[in-house]
A and B are shown apart, each in its own frame.
Chain A
Amino acid sequence: MKALNRPWAWSFLAAGLVWLATIWVTKGAASGGLTEAALTFAAFSVLVGIGQMFVITLGPGNIDLSVPATMTLAGTLALKLMDGAEGMVIPGLLATLGVGIAVGLANYALIKALRIPPIIATLSMSFIIQSIAIWSNRGIRIKPPESLASFTTSSTLTVPNVALVALAVSIAAWVLLNRSVYGRQVAAIGQSLPAARMAGVPVDGVRLATYVLCATLAALAGFLLSCFSGGAALNMGNEYLLMSIAVVVIGGSAVAGGDSNVPGIWGAGLFMFLIVSMLNTYQFQAGYRLILTGLIIIAVILLASGRKGGRP
């Protein structure tokens, strides 16, 4: 049972059980296809989830609600810039990163210079970003360059390429969070902002970097998602707002900040996709499906937080 003391273990356990329950119906025939689909869609949740995790780690009140709009804007602008041309892949990627950095800087400018709480600042920023996305392209679907389309939809050694990208980002994030000065500073700010300030942590610099990191990962996820699904759409980021927060919480990171982990985000991302697949496969009515999804998520969070024993 020692493994279950890891905060992220429960999300993997839940994902594994749901996977087994789904395979059970199809008598094992679907295991390969289901795993591949789960890895693909979990990859997008993981990318936005990691960014949101760093922000949430900064402590109470820190959250980025501009994730969906950033995804939409990055996908829209990058695909419009590339216009299907192979030679424009690098500029498209640079535009994506540019959108992320610009949104992150603007978010923190609102939070710091105008002293607006992050939840309001990022929400109002998301309206501005979404309007720019609508204005720039009116939702017209432009195809990605063929090389990007085939890269995002194919696999290397049976592992989807987008999952490999997300895995590389995850490893970097793990090193950043657990082994770098920056990561320790983020956690220190989340545990106690006054204490971190006293200890000489450059609070503003660290927070700024974190909001930029979150927006950049959201932009990257939007870029990959629009290449994967054959074009950007104005509503493509919608479900990733709650998703980015849900995977952090289900993954066992502390909602109050200061204590986070990267592996749990993978478990939670897989779980969030598989739970919908399982209930679809069992042919539940939509109403029951939503109720069951809610109940199961509550159960996983309760189990995951129960490990702390006496701690509130």
Chain B
Amino acid sequence: MTRTILMASAALACLAGTGFADTSDKRIALSNNYAGNSWRQAMLESWAKVTGQAVTDGVVAAADAFTTAENQATEQAAQIQNMILQGYDAIVVNAASPTALNGAIKEACDAGIIVVSFDGIVDEPCAWRVAVDFEAMGKSQLDYLKTAMPDGGALLEIRGLAGVFVDDAISAGIHAGVEENPNFTIAGSVHGDWAQDVAQKAVAGILPSLPEIAAVVTQGGDGYGAAQAFAAAGRPTPIIIMGNRQDELKWWKEQKDANGYTTMSVSIAPGVSTLAFWVAQQILDGKDVPKDLTVPFLRIDQDTLEANLETTPEGGVANVEYSQEDAIQVIEAAK
């Protein structure tokens, strides 16, 4: 009896969400290359939360997450081959390398499996890419500064880890923005490795040789360290663009309450894994989805600071989880 009611309600749920029924027997796997920082931890949590609900609702049959231990392409390629053997219908992948997994990805495509890569994307043409426009993210910082300080000024650029393509892309966006706004000049540039303490040390080292700095352009995970370095040098605090980390938002809130400090914060929400999940679900559902999709940034401004700080866990990163409707919107926008 209970069983019949359960099945009836499941059937109702399927009816309510149109198009759900087609993927209810499909199984999706997440292949993840790394879990060792707060961003990745939040990414996995979002996946578990959203896909767990989707499985309960009968949208898909399974959505299992697998993380490799060593962050190595060979290990991840073997993991993907296992997923092919296990008969998953779609594989969502955050890749250790844009090229080194291509062989395994091609095998999956040839076996009729849908492959959706996100964040760490792959360039094998048969896979879908949910990519971040890091260049636009860098440029958006200058767009903000242009309105915040129309007179311009000297900028200090804090870059990420040298040799990683994300660092080059964000920096290229920042430099393109500076070129468009000749009021601004980049007075100095250091590498902060996306870590607060490294950024603090690097900024402290170059600060004495710099003129007055109007603003600091960053890549995320380095804003708090920069603020500490300015304070230690006894310099006035410039506008420091933040990167959605909880310690950065907390510092911003304290400054805002104390002296009306204004800035903005931009980064990618770890919940992008759930967007990739829904994209895979839409493809399995037979929807026509372009191969290249772009993830929206998560931007926090003066008036949304409190709300975001409240929902961000201590030591974590500001996050949003995506719904099926969000995925459909992103797909429509790419067409």
Contacts and interface: CB of A to CB of B under 8 A. Distances in A.
Interface string B210-246: 0000000000000011001001110000000000001
Nearest to B162: A286
Contact of B205 (A31, A235, A239, A273): A273
A30 B209 contact: yes
Given A153-B231, A230-B228, A286-B162, A235 B197 contact: yes
A283 B231 CA distance: 23
B203 to A, nearest CB: 9
B201 interface: yes
B247 A33 contact: no
Contact of A26 (B162, B208, B228): B208
Interface string A232-261: 010110110000000000000000000000
B204 A286 contact: no
B206 interface: yes
B314 interface: yes
Contact of A140 (B200, B202, B231, B314): B314
Interface in B223-278: 224-225, 228, 231-233, 246-247
B139 interface: no
B197 A229 contact: yes
Contacts of B314: 140-141
Interface in B176-204: 188-191, 195-198, 200-202, 204
B188 A280 contact: yes
Nearest to B205: A277
Contact of A138 (B197, B232, B315): B315
B207 interface: yes
Contacts of A38: 205
Contacts of B195: 233, 235, 238
B208 A33 contact: yes
B299 interface: no
A225 interface: yes
B159 interface: yes
Contact of A281 (B163, B197, B206, B224): B206
A233 B196 contact: yes
Given A25-B209, A283-B189, A40 B196 contact: no
A281 B209 contact: yes
A231 interface: yes
B38 interface: yes
A96 interface: no
The size class of the interface chain A forms with chain B is 35 or more
Nearest to B159: A286
A151 interface: no
A34 B208 contact: yes
B233 A37 contact: yes
A231 B225 CA distance: 10
Nearest to A41: B201
Contacts of B209: 22, 25-26, 29-30, 34, 277, 281
A293 B206 CA distance: 16
B228 A280 contact: no
A141 B204 contact: no
Contact of A286 (B191, B197, B205): B191
B204 A40 contact: yes
A167 interface: no
B315 A280 contact: no
A41 B205 contact: yes
Contacts of A231: 247
Contacts of A193: none
Contact of A276 (B188, B202, B231): B202
Interface string A151-166: 0010000000000000
A136 to B, nearest CB: 13
B200 A229 contact: yes
A299 interface: no
A26 B209 CA distance: 6
Contacts of B201: 41, 273
A33 B229 CA distance: 12
Contact of A229 (B38, B189, B228, B246): B228
Contacts of A36: 208, 233
Interface of B: 38, 159, 162-163, 188-191, 195-198, 200-202, 204-209, 224-225, 228, 231-233, 246-247, 314-315
9 contacts: A29-B209, A34-B209, A37-B205, A37-B208, A40-B204, A140-B315, A231-B247, A236-B197, A283-B189
